[in-house]
Amino acid sequence: MPTPFNQSIIEEFRANGGKVGGPFEGGDLLLLTTTGAKSGKETTTPLGYVRHGASLLIVGSNLGAPRHPGWYHNLLAHPVVRVEIGAETFEALAVPAEGARREELFAQVVAVSPGYGDYQAQTTRPLPVVVLEQDEPALEVNTLADKLMEVHTWLRAQLRHVRTEVDAHFAAPTADISLGLQIRQRCLAFCQTLEFHHTSEDDHLFPGIAHYHPHLADTFARLGEEHRTVARIQGELVSLLADIGAADPRRFRAELDRMSTELNAHLDYEEASLLPFLTEIPWPPR
């Protein structure tokens, strides 16, 4: 739960289209909603930010305290976060910067907001600099078929991004070092979204369609089996992500290749089998 002080800022922010008074008046402020690493509950935190191209930078200063703030631990466990700026709300992928990139971005933040330099001087821990990458604009969604394609398009894109970054890692002269947070965060977000999507299909979408189209029983049996195959590969990936610094990059790449092969074949079959039955169902439900 937000502190009473933070809660008052959140309420003022939402009531005034992102504008607040007091110590934050005139500053760049956003609301970051993370999912608890242990509790699984959502928590919203007001934070200052700095723009960096199409992305946003936030800093885990915790006012110079010796420990990282709770929201930072949350986004490591659940990389997809919700961001509010002004009257706009969107989902973003949260990726902490590392090494030279962290130093470069922190210098950029301090140039805009010197107070972060003061917080860094108060603690021996490097203040995390987190890049918030906004999702690409969503497809127009009017039917359940559109919604399915929106999710499938996101999953395919994230899988391509992870594979591209892993390929770049192997091409670098330091390919024997850890895979890093960029790969970890993107792959973890992909795995968590994939699990949620397939669980939702198994529990709700497939039974709902099967009720009206019993002739699709064999199709759903095949899709269910494919879900279990993909889930096993996903489990291997998540296990490797638990300690990305010690993970064997070659094993990770092999599991990623398996995921790409199995998931793309599954999505292709699901679209060919189900889209014709979903085009007449409006989304959101009415």
Instruction: Determine contact, residues 81/32, Cβ cutoff 8 Å.
Output: yes
Q: Please count the other Cβ atoms lying within 10 Å of the Cβ belonging to residue 164.
A: 11
**Phi, psi of 167, rounded to the nearest 5 degrees:** -60, -40
pLDDT surpasses 90 at 166: no
Mean pLDDT of the chain: 92
What pLDDT, on a 0 to 100 scale, did the predictor assign at position 3? 81
Least confident of 1-15, 59-73, 176-190, 270-284: 176-190
What's the Cα-to-Cα distance from 264 to each of 31, 168, 185, rounded to whole Å? 35, 22, 21
pLDDT surpasses 70 at 177: no
The answer to whether the peptide bond before residue 284 is cis (omega within 30 degrees of 0) is yes
What percent of the chain stands above pLDDT 70?
A: 96
Q: In degrees to the nearest 10, what's the CA dihedral of 110, 113, 118, 122? A: -80
Across 258-273, average pLDDT: 98
Please write the tens of the pLDDT for every residue from 121-164: 999 999 999 999 987 666 789 999 999 999 999 999 999 999 99
Assess whether the region 4-134 and the region 144-278 belong to the same CATH fold. no
**Side-chain half-sphere of 230: how many Cα atoms within 13 Å?**
26
Q: Rounded distance, CA 148 to CA 141, Å?
A: 9
Instruction: Determine contact, residues 156/267, Cβ cutoff 8 Å.
Output: yes
Q: Rounded distance, CA 33 to CA 87, Å?
A: 15
Q: Give 220 or 175, the one with higher predicted confidence.
A: 220
Across 29-35, average pLDDT: 97
Q: Rounded distance, CA 216 to CA 223, Å?
A: 11
Q: Please count the other Cβ atoms lying within 10 Å of the Cβ belonging to residue 167.
A: 12
pLDDT surpasses 60 at 26: yes
CATH superfamily label, 4-134: Electron Transport, Fmn-binding Protein; Chain A (2.30.110.10)
CATH superfamily label, 144-278: nmb1532 protein domain like (1.20.120.520)
Instruction: Determine contact, residues 20/9, Cβ cutoff 8 Å.
Output: yes
Give me the residue spans of the domains in the chain. 4-134, 144-278
pLDDT surpasses 60 at 48: yes
Q: Give 23 or 270, the one with higher predicted confidence.
A: 270
Please write the tens of the pLDDT for every residue from 238-254: 999 988 778 888 899 99
Element (H, E) at 80: strand 80-85
Burial group, residue 106, by CB count within 10 angstroms (0-12, 13-18, 19+) = buried
